[in-house]
């Protein structure tokens, strides 16, 4: 994991990096299909890193078959997190609405607030767990398909092989997510360029995690 911080700069080593990121960003405008293709492009860039080629994969619309499995797994995990949050959030909202029509009961209002806080906490913790587990389940899915990516026990075990690698990769993915949103701050449409850049970073981060989680421990 000693070179993981190079995730920030490795995309610019490709002489065509601007064009490639723009093309992937524009393709990403296509609903669902664009996102799936972008995931597949990230995996193709990961393949290049494995081969020692620090250039981004060609930018085109040929990566749908590669990206669809990871997209499905990411969607399932996202829906599970949302469902867990909804278990607490929906009752809280219903209680609050009911109290808005009747004479407010301070105790029930407190319960509604507590449920909303628990829902927020559950979604936050779930999102963090998702982020830190992302390299493990992406690698599992890409190698073994959707079923492999959804084997939570196997994913957790891989995350625990090298906890430091998992921690660093998760923190770097959070940084990549921040970079992805910079396009909104700088110029609305620019988010598609920065989102593609974040995916390129993700390829490096996952590659570094893969090396760190499979390398034998010293001693």
- pLDDT tens by residue, 120-162: 999 999 999 999 999 999 999 999 999 999 999 999 999 999 9
Q: How many Å apart are CA 24 and CA 195, to the nearest integer?
A: 9
> Does residue 94 carry a pLDDT above 60?
yes
Q: Cα 162 to chain center, whole Å?
A: 20
Torsion over CA of 149, 7, 57 and 196, rounded to 10 degrees?
A: 80
- pLDDT tens by residue, 7-52: 999 999 999 999 999 999 999 989 999 999 999 999 999 999 999 9
**Which of 160, 164, 184 minimizes the C-alpha distance to 172?**
164
**Which of 150, 130, 134 minimizes the C-alpha distance to 208?**
134
> Does residue 109 carry a pLDDT above 90?
no
Domain assignments of the chain as residue spans, ordered by start: 4-214
């Amino acid at each position: 994991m000693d070179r993981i911080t190079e995730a920030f700069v490795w995309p610019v080593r490709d002489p065509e990096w601007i064009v490639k990121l723009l093309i992937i960003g524009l393709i990403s405008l296509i609903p669902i299909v664009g996102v799936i293709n972008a995931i597949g492009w990230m995996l193709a860039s990961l393949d290049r890193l494995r081969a020692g080629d620090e250039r981004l994969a060609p930018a085109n619309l040929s990566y749908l078959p590669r990206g669809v499995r990871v997209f499905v797994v990411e969607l399932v995990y996202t829906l599970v997190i949302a469902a867990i949050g909804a278990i607490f959030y929906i009752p809280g909202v219903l209680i609050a609405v009911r109290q808005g029509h009747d004479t407010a009961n301070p105790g029930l209002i407190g319960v509604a607030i507590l449920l909303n806080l628990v829902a927020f906490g559950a979604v936050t913790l779930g999102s963090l767990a998702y982020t830190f587990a992302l390299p493990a389940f992406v690698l599992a899915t890409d190698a073994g398909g959707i079923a492999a990516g959804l084997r939570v026990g196997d994913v957790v075990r891989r995350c625990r092989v090298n906890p430091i690698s998992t921690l660093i990769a998760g923190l770097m993915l959070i940084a990549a997510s921040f970079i992805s949103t910079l396009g909104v701050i700088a110029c609305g449409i620019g988010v598609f360029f920065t989102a593609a850049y974040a995916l390129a970073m993700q390829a490096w981060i996952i590659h570094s995690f893969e090396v760190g989680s499979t390398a034998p421990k010293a001693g």
